[in-house]
Amino acid sequence: MANDKPARRPKAETPKGFRDYFGAEVTERKAMLDAIAGVYHRYGFDPLETSAVETVEALGKFLPDVDRPNEGVFAWQEDEADWLALRYDLTAPLARVAAQYRNDLPSPYRRYAMGPVWRNEKPGPGRFRQFYQCDADTVGSGSVAADAEICAMLADALETVGIPRGDYVVKVNNRKVLNGVMEVAGLAGDDKDAERGIVLRAIDKIDRLGPEGVRALLGEGRKDESGDFTKGAGLNEAQAAVVMGFTNAKRDSGAETVARLHELVGRSVIGAEGVDELEQIASLLAAQGYGPDRIVIDPGVVRGLGYYTGPVYEAELTFQITDEKGRPRNFGSVAGGGRYDGLVKRFTGQDVPATGVSIGVDRLLAALRAKGRTQGESEGPVVVTVMDRDRMADYMAMVGELRQAGIRAEVYLGNPKNFGNQLKYADKRQSPIAVIQGGNEAAEGKVILKDLILGAKIAESATLEEWKDRPAQVLVDRADLVAEVRKMLEK
Amino acid sequence: MANDKPARRPKAETPKGFRDYFGAEVTERKAMLDAIAGVYHRYGFDPLETSAVETVEALGKFLPDVDRPNEGVFAWQEDEADWLALRYDLTAPLARVAAQYRNDLPSPYRRYAMGPVWRNEKPGPGRFRQFYQCDADTVGSGSVAADAEICAMLADALETVGIPRGDYVVKVNNRKVLNGVMEVAGLAGDDKDAERGIVLRAIDKIDRLGPEGVRALLGEGRKDESGDFTKGAGLNEAQAAVVMGFTNAKRDSGAETVARLHELVGRSVIGAEGVDELEQIASLLAAQGYGPDRIVIDPGVVRGLGYYTGPVYEAELTFQITDEKGRPRNFGSVAGGGRYDGLVKRFTGQDVPATGVSIGVDRLLAALRAKGRTQGESEGPVVVTVMDRDRMADYMAMVGELRQAGIRAEVYLGNPKNFGNQLKYADKRQSPIAVIQGGNEAAEGKVILKDLILGAKIAESATLEEWKDRPAQVLVDRADLVAEVRKMLEK
C-alpha cells in the first residue's frame, strides 16, 4: 500500500540559517576581498587556504561565545574514528598549520586567509550560520612591532576598499593593562577566573549597555529589557570603581591616556608592561605616519575572546547610519583582533607568540553599500533576440562577434515565439541593448539596435526635450554590428 | 588519579584526505579561476554562490560513482530535525536554487559557480575529499544552442587560461544517439536499466580499458589486474557488435561521423533525433567559427553520470605528458558536462531543461603547470633587516615608505640578535633585496641594499665575468631608499 503513494518531492529550500548569494552580491564581495588581498600582499603576507573540515580535537573550543562552550560547531563522527567539524573561524586552523608545518614555514610567518566559516548557532535576522572572514596573522613574533604592523595594515585596507580617512579609527588597547587593573582591584588569583571573565565581557559590551549596564554587571548583576537576569561579578564599590576608571581612561591625546593608565595600574608589573607596550605601538605607528587620526589608544576596547594575551585592536567606522528605528547611530566595529600567545602551544607545548586581525566581511560590505562605495548592479549583457528560429546560427554568429570583441553578450535561448517575452527577459537582465534582426533586415544586410537604457528613460519622462535628438532605436549595417554596439554603450 | 595525568596534546594534523594550500598554490588557482570567470561573464553568465551546507533531501543522490550509492557525502543530523550535508558538486545546489527562486530568476538562467565540494570517499594519492569545481550552466533552455554555447565557452576558457589552440579538443556526443543504439541492440525497455548502466559505464572507461576491456564488460564481465571481477552486461555477440560499432563511429570529418551514426541508430526515433541535434550543434558552432580544430563530434564520449539526457561534452587536452612510469600519455580530460533535463523536475514536478559544464580545477591547474603556463613562485618581499633593536621605529618607517610606493616589503619581526638568521629568513621568503642599516650607516644617513638574487647567482658561479661590474651590495642615501630599491628590482 505504502508503495502506491507518489514519492514526496524534496523541498527546494536552503537549510535554516544559510543563504544564497546572487550576481552582484558575489562580485562585490570578491572585489572587496581582492582589494584587501592586495594590501596584505604588499605587507608581505602570504595566502593560506586550509580545508573547511578539521578534526574536532585540532579545532579546540575557542568560540567567542563562552557562555555556550559546548555549542557552536557543526560536527560529525567518521566511521568509528575521529570526530570532524566545520571550522568556526580561521584562527584555529592557522594554529594547527603553524604547529604542523613548524619546521618548513618561515618564522615569523605572515599569512592571510579568506573564506567561509560555520557556526552552529540559532539563526536570526541578518545572522547566518555560514559567513565570510578575512584574516591576517603573524605567527612567531613576540614583538609589538608585529601588532603595530597589523594595525597599520588594517587602516590601509579600509582606505583601499573605500572607507575614507576620518570615517574610521583603529583603536588599540592591551590586555596586560586590564590584567594590571584586575590586580589593583584584587582580582588577580587563579580562583578569580570566573569573575575576571564576567568583568571582561561586561567591558566588551559597554557600547551596547552603557556605563550603568557595565557597572551593574560588575556588581550584583543586571536585568535586561526582556527581564532576563545576568549574574554579575560581585565586586565591591572600591573594586568596581577601579574597573570603571579603566573603561573611561581615554583622554584627548595618547600621552595623556598613557599617563592615566599608568596611574590606574599602580604598582602592577604586568600592568606597567602593558602600558609600555601601548606607548611603543603608538611610537612605531607614528614613525610610519599613522597618527591619532587613524589609530588611537583606547582603553574601552577589550575584545570578548578569552585567549588574547597582549595588545588588542578594533576598527570602528565613525560615520553615522540610521538604524531600524530611524535613529542615527555610529556604524561601529568592522574588524578586530589581538595577540594570542597560547593557541599554537596547545599542540607543541612550546611558546609561539602570534597576533592577528579578522575583518567582518559582511559588515564591511554593508558599510561600503551605506557609503555608496560599491556598484550595486552588475553590467547587464547585450541581448541578441531571436526573430526567426531557423536562423539561430546567424544570431549565434552575432553574439560570437560581440563576445570576441570583449562585449558581454547573450543570444536569447528561451522559446522565441513571443517577442515581448524576449524584451522582458532583456529588461530582467538589465541589458543595455537589444539586437534585432527579422527577415527584412536580414535580406538588406541590416540589424536593429534598441537602446534599452534610453528607452527606459523616455518611458519614464516622455516629454523631456533632452531625448528628442537621440533615437531609441537605430538601423545599422550588419557588418558594423560590433562598432555600432560599442558606440551606443559608450554614450 | 586520572586527573594527575598531563592533558594529552591535540594532534596538529589535517583530517585524512584533506590538505592545505600555501602561497602560490592559492594565487595560481585564483588567477586561473578569475580568468575563467571573465570568459563566463562575457558570455552573460552571472555568479551564484550557494552555501556549503544543504539538506540531504535537497541534494539527492546523484554522485558520479553509482557503484556506491549510499556513500559519498559528509552528513549529520540537526537536533532531531533535518539531515544536513556538505555539497558533493555544484549542480545539485543549482537545481535546488532554480526551483526555489523559479519566479524571480531570469529564464533562461545562465549562472556560473566556483568553489569547493566535498566527497566522503576513501582518500588516495592525489585524491582529496575537498576539491574545487568551476561550473557554468544554463537552466530553462531546451535549445541545443545552449549546449553549443557552453562548448564554445569551454574552448574560449581553455585558451584564455593558457591552453593554446591545438592542445585541446572539445568532444561532443549525444545520449539520445546512444539510446538509439541501445534500442537497436534490444536494450530499450525499463527492465534493461541495469544492463544499460553497465554499458554506459563500460563505454565511459574506453580510454582506460581499451576496446577489449569494454567488449568484455559488454559480455560476461572482466577481471582486472588485481584479480577483481566486474560483472558484465551479458550482451550477445550481435548486441555487443552494435555497441562496439558506436564506440568507434568517429570518422575523419563531422559529416562522415554523422552519416555513420545515422546508419547505427537505424530506425530508432530517439537515435535519429540525437544525430540531428549533433548536426545542429556542429552547424551553430561553425557559424561562430568554432571548427573541428576545436570542437568535434566524437561518439566515444558518453560521460558516466546517469542523469544526462541529451548532448554530452568533454574537453580533452591532447598534448603528451610523461606518466609515473616514464611513458608518454595524453593528458586527458579536464572538463565535461551535458544536458540534464530531470534535476529541477525533482523539486517542482515540471520539466526544466538544463545543460552545463564542470571544469576540474586541479587537473586544469596541473596541465598549466605541465605546460609552464603558471608562475610557480610568488614574488618575495623586500626584507628590511633589524641591526639595532632600539631603532625599530626607523626600520618600520623604511618598510612603510616601500609599501606606500607599492613595493612588497617586510621588516624582520623575529629575534634580531643573530643577523645570519635574518638573511636565512630573507632567503626562505625568496626576497630580492635585503635592506640593512647599522649604527654607522644611520649616522651617515645611508642604507645598504643587498641584491639577494644577484648574490645567489654569484654564489653559484663565482668566476663569471658577467657579474663583475654589478655589485651585489650598494650603499645609498636613506632619502633615496624607494628609488634605489625600485632601480634594483627593475634590473
| Tens digits of residue pLDDT in B232-256 | 989 999 999 999 988 889 888 888 9
Q: Given this model, what pLDDT does residue A2 score? A: 44
More confident residue, B260 or B327: B260
Distances, alpha carbon B272 to alpha carbons B183, B247, B253, B266, in Å: 12, 17, 19, 8
Q: pLDDT for A28-48, tens place per residue?
A: 999 999 999 999 999 999 999
Q: Which of A127-136, A372-381, B407-416, B475-484 is least confident?
A: A372-381
Which residues numbered 175-234 in B keep a CB inside 8 Å of some CB on A? none
Given a cut of 60, is residue A186 above it in pLDDT? Answer: yes
CA distance B150 to B158: 12
pLDDT value at position A330?
82
Binding-face residues of B in 114-153 toward A, CB within 8 A: 116, 118, 129-130, 138, 140-141, 143, 145-146, 148-149, 152
Chain B residue numbers with beta carbons less than 8 Å from the beta carbon of A482 are: none
Adjacency order of strands within the sheet including B83-86: B53-55, B83-86, B75-77
- Chain A residues with beta carbon closer than 8 angstroms to that of B96: 12-14
- Sort out which chain A residues have CB atoms less than 8 A from B13's CB and list them: 55, 58, 96, 100
Residues of A in contact with B146 (CB under 8 A): 413
CB within 8 Å: B413 and A86: no
* Of A176, A175, A137, A177, the residue nearest A153 (C-alpha): A137
**pLDDT tens per residue across span A86-104:** 999 999 999 999 999 999 9
| pLDDT > 90 fraction of chain A, expressed in percent and rounded | 65
pLDDT greater than 70 at residue A455: yes
The nearest CA of chain B is from the CA of A73 a distance in Å of: 11
Chain B residues 80-99 within an 8 A CB cutoff of chain A: 82, 84, 86, 96-97, 99
Closest residue, chain A, to B146 (C-alpha): A413
Q: At what angle do helices A144-161 and A361-370 cross, to 10 degrees?
A: 40
pLDDT at B63: 58
pLDDT tens string A110-126: 999 999 999 998 888 77
- Percent of chain B with pLDDT strictly greater than 90: 65
Q: Which of A370-379, A435-444, B352-361 has the lowest mean pLDDT?
A: A370-379
Higher-pLDDT residue of B221 and B124 is B221
Q: pLDDT at position B254, please? A: 85
pLDDT above 70: residue B3: no
Closest CA to B231 of B368, B67, B71, B381: B67
Q: What is the pLDDT of residue A254?
A: 85
Span B394-398, average pLDDT: 96
Q: A 426-445 residues with CB below 8 A of B?
A: 428-429
Asked if A400 and B287 come within 8 Å (Cβ–Cβ), the reply is: yes
Q: What does the pLDDT read at residue B154?
A: 98
Residue B2 pLDDT greater than 80, yes or no: no
Which residues, 6 or more positions from B175, have their beta carbon under 8 angstroms from its beta carbon? B274, B302, B308, B309, B310, B311, B312, B338, B339
The closest CB to that of A106, out of B129, B289, B425, belongs to B425
* Interface touch B12/A100, C-beta < 8 Å: yes
Q: Does residue B44 sit at the A interface (CB-CB below 8 Å)? A: yes
> What pLDDT, on the 0 to 100 scale, is given for residue A123?
82
To test the contact with chain A by mutation, choose from B36, B53, B144 the residue with the greatest count of A C-beta atoms within 10 A, namely B53
Q: Greater confidence, A3 or A59? A: A59
Convert chain B into a string of H (helix), E (strand) and C (coil).
CHHHCCCCCCCCCCCCCCCCEECHHHHHHHHHHHHHHHHHHHCCCEEEECCCEEEHHHHCCCCCCCCCCCCECCEEECCCCCEEEECCCCHHHHHHHHHHCCCCCCCCEEEEEEEEEECECCCECCECCEEEEEEEEEECCCCHHHHHHHHHHHHHHHHHHCCCCCCEEEEEEEHHHHHHHHHHCCCCCHHHHHHHHHHHHHHHCHHHHHHHHHHHHHCCEEECCCCCEEECCCCCHHHHHHHHHHHCCCCCCHHHHHHHHHHHHCCCHHHHHHHHHHHHHHHHHHHCCCCCCCEEECCCCCCCCCCCCCEEEEEEEEEEEECCCCCEEEEEEEEEEEECCCCCHHHHCCCCCEEEEEEEHHHHHHHHHHCCCCCCCCCCCEEECCCCHHHHHHHHHHHHHHHHCCCCEEECCCCCCCHHHHHHHHHHCCCCEEEECCHHHHHHCEEEEEEHHHHHHHHHCCCCHHHCCCCCEEEEEHHHHHHHHHHHHHC
Higher-confidence position of A161 and A327: A161
Cβ <8 Å between B51 and A82? no
Cβ–Cβ contacts within 10 Å for residue B253, how many? 11
| pLDDT of A434 strictly over 90 | yes
Sign for the pseudo-dihedral over CA of B423, B429, B434, B435: negative
* Mean pLDDT, rounded, for B326-335: 86
Closest CA relative to residue B413, chosen from B425, B403, B400: B425
Instruction: Flag whether residue B166 sits within 8 Å of chain A, measured between CB atoms.
Output: no
Instruction: Respond yes or no on whether ipTM tops 0.85.
Output: yes
Average pLDDT, chain B: 89
The verdict on a CB contact (< 8 Å) between A130 and B52 is yes
Q: Which residues of B touch A388 (CB under 8 A)?
A: none
Give the one of B48, B53, B288 whose C-beta lies nearest to A396's C-beta. B288
Residues of A in contact with B27 (CB under 8 A): 47
pLDDT-derived band at B65, boundaries 50, 70, 90: very low
pLDDT score for B379: 83
**Which chain A residue has its CA at the smallest distance from B48's CA?**
A22
pLDDT of residue B67: 43
**Å from A242 to nearest chain B CA?**
33
Q: How far is B168 from chain A (nearest CA, A)?
A: 19
On whether any CB of chain A is under 8 Å from the CB of B409, the answer is: yes
Q: Read off the pLDDT of each residue in A162-170 and give the average, rounded to a whole number.
A: 95
Tell if the CB–CB gap between A393 and B287 is shorter than 8 Å. yes
Q: Binning pLDDT at 50, 70 and 90, where does residue B388 land?
A: very high
Q: Are A276 and A311 in contact (CB under 8 A)?
A: no
Say whether A403 and B428 touch across the interface (CB within 8 A): no
Cα–Cα distance for residue pair B13/B20, rounded to 1 Å: 10
Mean pLDDT value of segment A326-347: 89
A288/B82 touch (CB, cutoff 8 Å), yes or no: no
pLDDT at residue A69 tops 50: no
Please provide the average confidence, as pLDDT, over all residues in chain A: 89
| Spatial CB neighbours of A466, under 8 Å, sequence gap ≥ 6 | none
pLDDT tens per residue, range A419-431: 999 999 999 999 9
Tell me the pLDDT band of A205, cut-offs 50, 70 and 90: confident
A51, A80, A418: best mutation site toward chain B, by most B Cβ within 10 Å? A51
Would you call B413 and A143 a contact, using CB atoms and an 8 Å cutoff? yes
Determine the pLDDT at residue A196: 86
Contacts of B9 in chain A (CB under 8 A): 346-349
Q: Is A391 on the interface with B (CB under 8 A)?
A: no
Residue B45: pLDDT above 90?
A: yes
Domains of chain A by start residue, with CATH? 14-142+341-377 (3.30.930.10), 382-490 (3.40.50.800)
Among the partner residues A23, A58, A396, nearest to B284 by beta-carbon distance: A396
Lowest mean pLDDT among A63-77, A235-249, A369-383, B166-180: A63-77
Q: What is the pLDDT of residue A305?
A: 67
A393/B82 touch (CB, cutoff 8 Å), yes or no: no
* Mutation for A interface: B29, B88, B102, B413, most A CBs within 10 A: B413
Q: How far is the alpha carbon of B213 from chain A, nearest alpha carbon, in Å?
A: 35
B303 touches A at CB < 8 Å: no
